[in-house]
């Protein structure tokens, strides 16, 4: 794992955006795995700016991690809507190449299988963006999700429902289920880029990087990934025991050059 600790959320997001931009510049046909949530909003803002400065997404394909079961694409709280408003409406990605699971499909289990197959058909994901839940989830793989899981329907924990409550008007509107890529689906991406900012994520981040590999913290599965980069601000890195070492290896988020 490459652990990059930057002072502020702003610098951390800029560092993550630089990785996405490099991926797209190196491979204009890149397949991007995308995430939603509060952490990603400033990242997408940054990508919009890079696009206005010439970065093209015209050849890229994208697959989002997840979508709520029961919400149609035009529901104001759906992740389809989130992605349109945060990114897709402002960049030149071909809308027919921007994929999310269909939350309002009549058979959510069949939709999950179709989505997994569609990722394989596209040749797999080159760069998977990830956030982390305060309970250690990635995608909506809640604690005790199988580390071998594939795209499927997951029951959301009460902690996740509460974290997402802010986006809905009433408590009973927060969906209880989501279609999510599985942990094994995520691990098959050629590279992973997880971003965490703020003190609220510090314990989950420490469990992911320095805790045991455990289904209790699904994000710890990234310890198995050969090309996982974790971008943190100082607050999210606060509980890491080997913080000084990570700073030493990647001063200001840069790679140390062999003398
Ligand atoms: C979103 C997703 C989730 C979030 C996580 C963090 O597509 O898959 O795993 O990345 O819940 O959310 P925020 O950034 O809102 O704290």
pLDDT digits (tens, 9 = 90+) for 195-240: 999 999 999 999 999 999 999 999 999 999 999 999 999 999 999 9
Size of the chain in residues: 259
pLDDT of residue 259: 64
Nearest-atom number in ligand 1 for the CA of 138 is 9
The answer to whether 137 is a known catalytic residue is yes
Could you tell me if the CB of 38 is within 6 A of ligand 1?
Answer: yes
CATH number attached to the domain at 2-133+141-253: 3.40.50.1360
Nearest-atom number in ligand 1 for the CA of 137 is 9
Residue ranges in the chain assigned as alpha helix (H): 9-26, 40-52, 79-86, 108-121, 158-163, 183-187, 202-210, 243-249
- What residues have CB less than 8 Å from 107, skipping those under 6 apart? none
The answer to whether 74 is a known catalytic residue is no
Residue 117 pLDDT more than 80?
yes
Place 257 in a pLDDT band, splitting at 50, 70 and 90.
Answer: confident
Tokens of 27: 């491979």
What residue segments make up the domains of the chain, in order of their start?
2-133+141-253
Q: What is the distance of C-alpha 101 from the center of its chain?
A: 15
Nearest-atom number in ligand 1 for the CA of 35 is 7
- What residues have CB less than 8 Å from 177, skipping those under 6 apart? 68, 69, 70, 108, 153, 154, 155, 156
How many angstroms separate the CA atoms of 210 and 93, rounded?
37
Could you tell me if the CB of 43 is within 6 A of ligand 1?
Answer: no
How many angstroms separate the CA atoms of 196 and 194, rounded?
7
pLDDT in tens, 135-145: 999 999 999 99
Catalytic residue among 46, 51, 80, 137: 137
What is the arithmetic mean of pLDDT over 101-126? 98
Q: Radius of gyration (Cα) for the chain, nearest Å?
A: 17
Task: Name 128's bridge partners.
Answer: 33, 192
């Amino acid at each position: 794992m490459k652990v990059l600790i930057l002072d502020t959320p702003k610098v951390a997001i800029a560092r993550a955006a630089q990785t996405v931009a490099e991926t797209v510049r190196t491979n204009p046909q890149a397949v991007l795995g995308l995430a939603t949530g509060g952490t990603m909003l400033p990242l997408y803002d940054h990508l919009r700016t890079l696009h206005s400065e010439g970065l093209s997404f015209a050849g890229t394909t994208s697959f989002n991690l997840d979508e709520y079961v029961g919400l149609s694409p035009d529901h104001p709280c759906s992740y389809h809507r989130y992605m349109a408003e945060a990114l897709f409406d402002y960049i030149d990605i071909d809308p027919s190449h921007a994929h999310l699971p269909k939350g309002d499909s009549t058979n959510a289990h069949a939709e999950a299988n179709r989505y997994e197959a569609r990722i394989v058909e596209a040749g797999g994901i080159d760069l998977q963006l990830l956030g982390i839940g305060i309970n250690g989830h990635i995608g909506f793989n809640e604690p005790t999700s199988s580390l071998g899981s594939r795209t499927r329907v997951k029951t959301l924990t009460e902690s996740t429902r509460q974290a997402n409550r802010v986006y809905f008007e009433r408590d009973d509107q927060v969906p209880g289920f989501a279609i999510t890529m599985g942990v094994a689906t995520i691990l098959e991406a050629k590279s992973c880029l997880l971003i965490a900012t703020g003190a609220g994520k510090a314990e989950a981040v420490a469990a992911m990087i320095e805790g045991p590999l455990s289904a209790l913290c699904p994000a710890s599965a990234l310890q198995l990934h050969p090309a996982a980069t974790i971008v943190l601000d100082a607050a999210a890195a606060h509980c890491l025991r080997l913080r000084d070492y990570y700073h030493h290896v990647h001063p200001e988020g840069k790679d140390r050059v062999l003398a």
